[in-house]
Chain A
């Protein structure tokens, strides 16, 4: 079963956008970044992605409070017969679907597809950092529960073979 997990961190310090984007786009000991991309942000490099998000916050005068949301989409966390190559192919497609899901709702996002090696199998997952400000209104995004639930429904509809969990997980 695949999951959409919303990380429960507070993410309200001024450096959190920088830290999160650096975190999700950097290789770690057991986790390898396969690709990353930004939507509604300057994709030149990591720093320009951070600049885009920070500047849009400043222009909207929303530099305080919650700065970002961090989501993780885990593709078949439990062992299953699907090969890791196939999961990676799904991952690429899901990454762009999620990016455009938020883009169409005037929300900037940066996503990365990662391959985490756990023993002798691969946990393919997507990290997603979204700006807490709606670019159209300049207000903080509200009703995030329904936003994420709708995203989950969209993924479940588009990718039935991945067997998305029925509920968004908060952890």
Chain B
């Protein structure tokens, strides 16, 4: 379900890159990270308010904290950070 949700809300390019990141990035709290990113993407596409009282700033803070601290290969991390930077700059 989550993946379907992503496919309808992001561009084809973002979709394929995002899938690669999630496949490559081998980190334990991946579900939390994915959910955070889905929230950001939803917000970007349709400005859906973010649930649980979180705002977009807190969301980004938490995403960066997870990504910066996860144990994964540097290439995957850097690619994900690049996408997140693009996302953040386009919101």
Binding site for A on B (CB under 8 A): 55-58, 60-61, 64-65, 67-68, 78, 81-82, 84-85, 88-89, 91
Contact = CB atoms under 8 A, between A and B. Distances in A.
A114 B64 CA distance: 24
B57 A41 contact: no
Contacts of B60: 40, 52, 55-56
A106 interface: yes
A42 B64 contact: yes
A158 B91 CA distance: 40
Contact of A135 (B61, B67, B78, B91): B61
A140 to B, nearest CB: 13
A48 B78 CA distance: 11
A42 B61 contact: no
Contacts of A55: 60, 88-89, 91
B65 A103 contact: yes
